[in-house]
Chains A and B, each alone.
Chain A
Amino acid sequence: MQPTPMPTDSMAPDIAKAEGLPLLEIAGLKTQFFTDDGIVKAVNGVDLSIYSNRTLCVLGESGCGKSILARSILRIVDAPGRITDGSIVYRAADGRTVDLAAARHGSRELRSIRGNDIAMIFQEPMSSLGPITRIGKQITETILLHQKISKAEARETAIELLDKVGIPKPTERFEAYPFELSGGMRQRAMIAMALSCRPRLLIADEPTTALDVTTQAQILDLIDELKEELEMGVMLITHDLGVVAEVAEDVAVMYMGKVVEKSDVYSIFENPQHPYTRALLESVPRIGVTKRDRLPAIRGMVPHPLATPSGCSFRTRCDSYMPSVCDKHQPALVEHEGSQVACFLHSRETADD
């Protein structure tokens, strides 16, 4: 068990608020899977903004739709899933805006953004790298795709990148196949690949879940350093509060396809508003708090995605459940004490369609 570190005070100043126009603005995004059993609303009306040089952590249990949200941004959701509503507006370096949600599948515009402006790091470094292509080739390929440089230059850049992400003997590793590397090395290679075109936005889908704790910390530090250096916006998806505390500036808590609370990392840890966020925080062991016999857990289970409860989707597990309020309408995400929260404890505003 890893104790959750609180965000350190030194981070406080630059956390205050995000400035300028967001790099990416997601509004009312809905991604649904049309399965034989019914429609799974994996992402069900999400509004989020990601800013340059800031890390947004999307926090939630498995199956809450956070990975699908990430994939929706790059438009790589596999059939039978597709975006049914909402917009994903990306603001390019020249100020031009593109609605990724409306871009045609496989269009040149979309492809020129993928890998170049927005890059993604996947969860499983083993299966996410092409199994029979050399690491180096997979990196140079991305570079050559987006930049007009020679193969030799691309090779040089790739080796530099491998070195930068902390892979020892990068020239040798350039020729290696994924199966010859350890998990941590593979994830580093993955990061090198994602960074190869100096993206403006990096999406990392649980980049450290498959790794051991030491490597985990190294990888997170690496992402954080590179964020500073490249002034990237980072969207980090995780279910690990420790990770959130370590790297996040902004936090969005997701539950069943919806953002239930959204704030800066301080407010989330100091003053959680949503019962779900509170429950999450309470279920984490803390150093110094020893008088409890048993760690509280969130009661019940996440409902089946095809059997969404009426009204607030968290009500079936909520300790503050208010009959005939919570089961009638869906709460809207509204401003409350510096955070945005969707709960009838704080506001009776509804968000029913």
Chain B
Amino acid sequence: MNTNPTTTVMENDDDVAAPVLLSPLALTWRKFKRHRIAYISLYVVGLIYLMAIFGEFLTTSDIHKTSTRRAFAPPMGIHLFAPNEDGSSRFQLHAKGLKLEIDKVAMRRVFAEDEEKIIPLGFFVKGYEYKVLGLFSSNTHFFGPVNPRDTVFLMGADRLGRDIMSRIIIGTRVSMSIGLVGVIVSLFIGVTLGGISGFFGGWVDNLIQRLIEFIRSIPTIPLWMGLAAAIPLSWPPLKTYFVVTLIVSMIGWTSLAREVRGKFLSLRYEDFIIAARLDGLSNMEVIRKHMVPSFSSHIIASLTLAVPLMILAETSLSFLGVGLQPPVVSWGTLLKEAQNVRTIIEAPWLLIAPATMIVVAVLALNFLGDGLRDAADPHAH
């Protein structure tokens, strides 16, 4: 009781160097880095967002360029050595052209590799014109056919003969940004309502809880289907995009609000919060200086985990044909092309290529969020 020495400030003759103490943020970061998969995922997510920003630079052909002769063209392999005329071979990245043949037995057309036609490939080649960040024009592409008139289908073509890989790259923009915008919307609503609910309690809490309960108890897919089906087909793509984002963010905020509320409720009677109040801090100050910092890491982790949910939501809706509509290119609208088993068996790349992309993006975001949450976990040793 009274044996705790009150430390009177005296000359410090302590000759023992105190160990360097890391700030909480640095500690979290160190713990995060130890979670290898999460750490790698950070870079993967970064790369995917870079891809979303500089999409056109990475594409090999214009995503709207159709070619009926190339409908359902299979993925082309990249070959390293091209034969010279004299029979020797030289190093030249290239793909082989395709020719149409008729399979007499199955009575349908099939593509075969045309050994004669060589499509040379290279880095930083000239291609179709596009705008970087919507600001300045360029026609340089990272990788593609050296001759701009050639087309190459590294991941195959769809039923209109459009390049799947380019479409996936461009689709990244819509799909990934829906996740991001949706999360910002839900962060705003969730933290505000959750905070109010948890901090003030009483009837306000009750009202907000009923609202959340209401929204959560409606199965999302039928609700979204209903809402999304109400979007007139005549709307401009941008408007549809924002409405879909709003619909999608309707899930995110409720769980976030619940989490924030829970934290507020459990923190409300913690000693350090009561102490802060007794020190005369206003409600806002208590929230800002003491409560939010004590759970912000959890919020960041939850946000990261909400992004993939929204990406999946958009994908599901667009897949059903009630979300984004073509010609908008998103991973969901790409998957819509692979809606029945027959098509998939005919052209599996229609399913596999965008599906892989979705899984990679969602996995990376999940690992990242999980790593962040683990790093922020105060109980973890």
Contact = CB atoms under 8 A, between A and B. Distances in A.
Interface in A52-110: 61-62, 78-80
Contacts of A285: 2
A307 B8 contact: no
Contact of A242 (B1, B12, B16, B22): B1
Contacts of B18: 303-304, 307
A2 B6 contact: no
Contacts of A13: none
B10 A303 contact: no
A280 interface: yes
Contact of A316 (B14, B19, B381): B14
Given A304-B18, A306-B19, A307-B17, A297 B2 contact: no
A217 to B, nearest CB: 12
Given A38-B19, A304-B19, A306-B19, A240 B14 contact: no
Q: Pick the most buried of A2, A62, A78, A283: most chain B CB atoms within 10 A of its CB.
A: A283
Q: Pick the most buried of B5, B13, B18: most chain A CB atoms within 10 A of its CB.
A: B5
B137 interface: no
A144 interface: no
Nearest to B17: A307
Interface in A126-171: none
B3 interface: yes
A146 to B, nearest CB: 30
A279 B3 CA distance: 10
B1 A2 contact: yes
B84 interface: no
Contacts of A239: 3-4
Given A37-B19, A78-B381, A79-B381, A303 B14 contact: yes
B7 interface: yes
Interface residues of A, number: 33
Interface of B (DSSP majority class): loop
B270 interface: no
A80 B14 contact: no
A5 interface: no
B9 to A, nearest CB: 10
Contacts of B5: 61, 279, 283, 297-298
A284 B19 contact: no
Contacts of A62: 4
A309 interface: yes
A279 B6 CA distance: 12
B381 A297 contact: no
B15 A316 contact: yes
B4 A61 contact: yes
B3 A283 contact: yes
B117 interface: no
B260 to A, nearest CB: 23
A14 interface: no
Interface string B90-134: 000000000000000000000000000000000000000000000
A36 interface: yes
Nearest to A80: B381
A307 B3 contact: no
Nearest to B30: A36
Contacts of A303: 14, 16, 18
Nearest to A2: B1
Contacts of A280: 3
Contacts of A307: 16-19
A303 B10 CA distance: 15
Nearest to A279: B5
B14 A300 contact: yes
A17 interface: no
Contacts of B13: 316
Interface of A: 1-2, 4, 36-38, 61-62, 78-80, 239-242, 279-280, 283-285, 297-301, 303-304, 306-310, 316
Given A4-B2, A37-B19, 16 more contacts: A1-B2, A36-B30, A78-B381, A240-B1, A242-B1, A279-B5, A283-B3, A283-B5, A284-B3, A285-B2, A299-B10, A306-B19, A307-B19, A308-B16, A310-B16, A316-B13
Interface of B: 1-8, 10, 12-19, 22, 30, 381
Shortest beta-carbon contacts, A-B, top 8:
A298-B5, A297-B5, A306-B19, A309-B16, A297-B6, A316-B14, A307-B16, A240-B1
